[in-house]
Structure 1
Amino acid sequence: MVMSKPVSWFLVAFGVWSWFIWPNFLRNIWSDPRSFDDGPQAFFLVHLVLVVVSLVFGTAIAVIGVRGVRGARRRSR
């Protein structure tokens, strides 16, 4: 599959955005009083899974974008 440079850069930006937003979200959830009461609560665990899955998807999408940027660079030479 061939991707254009703008699409590839968008995917890279999405991956970077994911790594910027989700750890901050997790810090906010961590400090929420509903997160812990003698150990992690379901509220915290559900959000932790959400963060982990989002970071995995964001990383995968960024890798696809980087490969697209590299491929576009090779095609232009």
Structure 2
Amino acid sequence: MILSRRWSVFLVLAGLFNIGIWPRFGAAIWQDQRAWQGAIGSSTPTAFLWVHAALIAVALTVGIAVGVLGLRGLVAGRRRATV
């Protein structure tokens, strides 16, 4: 499959967006009282924290994969242009 330069750039930007947004969301979830049974950060985590941690991990994995695909598309496009 050949990606156009436009799609490759879009995928790279989408990957960067995910890498930039989800860690900030994770920090907000960590500070949320619903994530802990007692004191924030020093008590037992709740299902709220675990579910969001799993969602964040999946979103970061997908974001990295999308970004890598975009980068590979850009590199392949440069190779085609120079050949």
TM-score, with structure 1 as normaliser: 0.97
Q: What is the alpha-carbon root mean square deviation over aligned residues? A: 0.6
- The answer to whether the aligner puts 1:44 opposite 2:49 as a matched pair is yes
Separation in structure 2 between the aligned mates of residue 13 and residue 58 of structure 1, nearest angstrom: 10
**Match in the other structure for 2:40:** none
* AA matched with 1:61: V
SS of the residue corresponding to residue 34 of structure 1 reads helix
Aligned residues: 77
Larger radius of gyration: 2
In structure 1, what is the Cα distance between the partners aligned to 2:61 and 2:51? 16
Unmatched segments (≥5 aa) in structure 2: 38-42
Secondary structure class of the residue paired with 2:33: coil
Q: Which amino acid in 2 is paired with 1:46? A: V
Counting aligned pairs with the same residue, the percent is: 42
- TM-score using structure 2 length: 0.90
Unaligned ranges ≥5, structure 1: none
